[in-house]
Chains A and B, each alone.
Chain A
Amino acid sequence: MKSAIVVFPGTNRERDMAIALKRVTGKAPTMVWHRDTQLPDADLIVLPGGFSYGDYLRCGAMAAHSPIMAEIRAFAQKGGHILGVCNGFQILTETGMLPGALLRNANLRFLSQDCTLRVERDDTPYTHKWKKGDVFRTPLAHGDGNYTADAETLARLEGEGRVAFRYASPDGKVQNDDFATNPNGSVNSIAGILSENARICGMMPHPEDLVDPLMGGEDGLPLFEGLVEAIVR
């Protein structure tokens, strides 16, 4: 699998993502500057976390208009795989490539902690290393991760099985109104969603920060290993 990471002004988790991708592919991903107008030859494009343009407008709103985004849209239309994490997820919703929006966390504070995610699908490139209903631990770090969508969109997402991950308790229970399990207050405890073709995935938590026992575990590794297996050249 060849991968590339897009760097916007204010992106700050590109190094973390590069470590995770290198861990599973054996080679460093290509870094793409947001003002580039051509994507490198890659199977997976990652929009990493950070504060693109300082998040001074709505998170991800400025980056959504960066020159490289036209190429990324075209890449998506050709069926390319795109992973957006944290600020990357916010950018994907701002471009409309994924539905919904990310609001301020319900408690109005930045959150940096571990959370548990429940896997809702096990037949996508991003989730097939788990079994449906599995739970895994992952760090999250954001101020605006409170996922929301209008009722119709939400019904469609749920109906089409496009929720990839939900915040849950360690024993797999989803409790929307409990900040201990659904820390940012996301609707239906949604932590990550998929495009219709399941090739685009956006999620708020950071599986890339838990891929090494030294850093506390490898709980996030199956996502990246799964991508390598799913994307066979």
Chain B
Amino acid sequence: MKKTVDEALAREFGLTSEEYARVLSIMGRTPSLTELGVFSVMWSEHCSYKSSRKWLRTLPTKAPWVIHGPGENAGVVDVGEGYAAIFKMESHNHPSFIEPYQGAATGVGGILRDVFTMGARPVANLNALRFGSPETPRTRQIIDGVVRGIGGYGNCVGVPTVGGEINFHPAYDGNPLVNAMTVGIARKDRIFLSAAAGIGNPVVYVGSRTGRDGIHGATMSSAEFDENALAKRPTVQVGDPFIEKLLIEACLELMATDAIVAIQDMGAAGLTSSSVEMAGKGGVGIELDLDAVPQREPGMTAYEMMLSESQERMLMVLKPERTEVARAIFEKWELDFAIIGHLTETGHIVVKHKGQVEADIPLDPLAEQAPIYDRPASAPVVPPALENVHAPLSLDAMLLKLVGSPDLASRAWVWNQYDSTVGGQTVRRPGAADAAIVKIEDTTLGLALTTDCTPRYCQADPRTGGAQAVAEAWRNITATGARPLAVTDNLNFGNPEKPEIMGQFVAAIEGMGEACRVLDFPVVSGNVSLYNETRQPDGTTMAILPTPAIGALGVLDDVSKAVGLSMVDNADIVLIGETKGELGQSIWLREILGREEGAPPRVDLSVEKRNGDFVRNEIQTGTVKACHDVADGGILVAVAEMVMASRIGCELESPTSGIRPEAFWFGEDQARYIVCVPNAADFCARAEQSGVPARLLGRSGGRDLILPSGVTISTARLVTTNEAFFPSLMAN
């Protein structure tokens, strides 16, 4: 397998001819195979963000509570009492299509490492999943593998999976999205960073041995899929959550000492990216001796070792006098520990193997001359507002159809395969509140966590959709009583070389940025996944819906004040926020009329903030006993969800406004909440004082959902309909 390094090979490795010319000019000679491998992965879309960087820079990333924003392994925010929350979301889309179980499992493993490498104990996992049409045969197989993979990894490492979201759409048939998020907790004065320092300091490799798996994974995930996608299975890594668990415990034990100078996990592009980034950030050189790398199989070449994406590995720079302390800890946990190199003052990465220099690359130009593209973007054409549409069915029939539909059906079948209680700090489990609530042990603090995006809105109007994703995450955190602090974003789009896709990307970022600024909700970490397209047999390609998934974190100073979405008995039910009846791009329109049309609901960020601040304040003062935001499916679906969660019924009043009933009950106007309060009159008076629209919607009690017409739907019928979808889909 001796390969000749030339432009053709460079192109095979994913570099363009121009990029290869730049490699030649930096090196002043033809690179070796290993060197070409290093350039190709470091300059891949996955590692270099070459198409997205220009736009990512426009996002707000600062706030007084932000300790570390983008650029580190994960974002770090101050949550009070001396603690920091460390979090990030990352995609594992391409591997999860090729090999759903391992793709999803290693996605969880990778994001866990990004968080504990900074010194945090992981305390919660979430995810954001998009699958193809339920009717597509492979969808079932992908769901089965992805759910088993997420559970198989998260359950074993003992980090509770507390939340997430799932959408279905045919646009994900050939390219599902698996976005995994991890949240960890550390003392805020004990954060570990990746910048290497100290000439001569040892570079230490810990964790699993290096094998031939995942070679060029980062390159694979930077290209479209073609009909041969499944043949790429060897580029998918294989996870070992047991080793990861040992690695977490060993690293945290070592982090309690003063031995570590810098640490980074070996994620995409493995040993290459970790060593290049650590040395680059620290402004030092690094020399690696690959003979010392723990290897799973004999005969591996330098090229293979540098590009392997074997999982559960970490790279550290240690204080030389503390290496034996560190070795003892890793030996206790029965993990490999090897000194594989040292820091130098050359400013180069030098890779030696069997006495030969296999790579010698200057680090500054590798980073600074990395390509960055300002790709042409065509502004998205936003569809006109929806014309008048009419309900073909009765209100109760439409409600039952909606609560049983794929996007609104109960996710219990999925959640029940994820351990959500391990750690003993889960205050609100999946489905119990708009955001999951996890207590910080030994404090009164609670973290509110959610993932959100409405891809059908983003497809119709990426700018509004980007803003809506941020606003919905902010709203979900607010609805528990928590103070929203920061977000991590996972930007999943198609091929950025197409102007219309780049246009979606730019518009979505603009919308997100505006929402983050108005809501004081900075982006502290994130990940970009492009080329989510599948070539069809007829030669055309199908892109996914633009999916800028938002993972968000908020804090409750007193976690006992958190509220859930379960209806409480004998309460007034109040709707907060204005209802115009926006049915464009609604779930109702899609599920009842079979149409995906119109403009998505408008997002007015100042109204969002005003309404949310009022709701949060009312929850904090204890007047709100339950709260649920109004999202997919509108008011009636939100009420039904509160009824199903509690098995407590309610009687609804007729809307007096001049809006058609289907628009009132199923419209997806933003910035709205439904709350249970003891006394609606007092509550609405306070709302009015704050300039917040609020109106009585009905009263809770009994076992049935009673519509204004007097038509009654039993709680049991709602629950049975809601819970049928997943088990029946997966039983076939």
Give A residues with C-beta under 8 Å from B.
Answer: 9-10, 12-13, 15-16, 19-20, 33, 49-51, 53-56, 109-113, 139, 141, 143, 206, 208-209, 212, 214-216
Contacts and interface: CB of A to CB of B under 8 A. Distances in A.
A20 B421 CA distance: 14
24 contacts: A9-B333, A12-B245, A12-B422, A13-B422, A13-B424, A15-B423, A15-B424, A16-B421, A16-B424, A19-B441, A51-B155, A51-B245, A54-B241, A109-B148, A111-B417, A112-B418, A112-B419, A113-B416, A141-B422, A212-B424, A214-B559, A215-B425, A215-B426, A215-B427
B416 A111 contact: yes
A211 to B, nearest CB: 8
B242 A209 contact: no
Contacts of A20: 424
A13 B560 CA distance: 23
A112 B416 contact: yes
A216 B427 CA distance: 7
A10 B156 contact: yes
B702 interface: no
Given A9-B246, A109-B417, A112-B418, 16 more contacts: A9-B333, A10-B156, A12-B157, A12-B245, A12-B422, A13-B158, A51-B242, A54-B243, A112-B421, A141-B420, A141-B421, A143-B155, A208-B424, A209-B421, A209-B422, A209-B424
B121 to A, nearest CB: 9
B439 interface: yes
Contacts of B156: 10, 12, 51, 54-55
Interface of B: 148, 151-152, 155-158, 240-243, 245-246, 332-334, 415-427, 429, 439, 441, 559-560
Contacts of B418: 110, 112
A14 B20 CA distance: 53
Contacts of B421: 16, 112, 139, 141, 206, 209, 215
Contacts of B441: 15, 19
Please report whether the interface of chain A is mostly helix, strand, loop or mixed according to DSSP. Answer: mixed
B424 A54 contact: no
B439 A50 contact: no
Nearest to A139: B421
A214 B439 contact: yes
Contacts, number: 91
Contacts of A12: 156-158, 245, 422
Nearest to A11: B158
A207 B425 CA distance: 14
A139 B439 CA distance: 18
Contacts of A216: 427, 429
Contacts of A51: 155-156, 158, 241-242, 245
A216 B240 CA distance: 32
Contacts of B151: 110, 112
B420 A112 contact: yes
A141 B159 CA distance: 12
Nearest to B417: A110
A54 B242 contact: yes
Contacts of B559: 214
Nearest to A19: B424
Contacts of B155: 51, 110, 112, 141, 143
A56 B242 contact: yes
Nearest to B246: A9
A33 B253 CA distance: 14
Contacts of B429: 216
Contacts of A214: 427, 439, 559-560
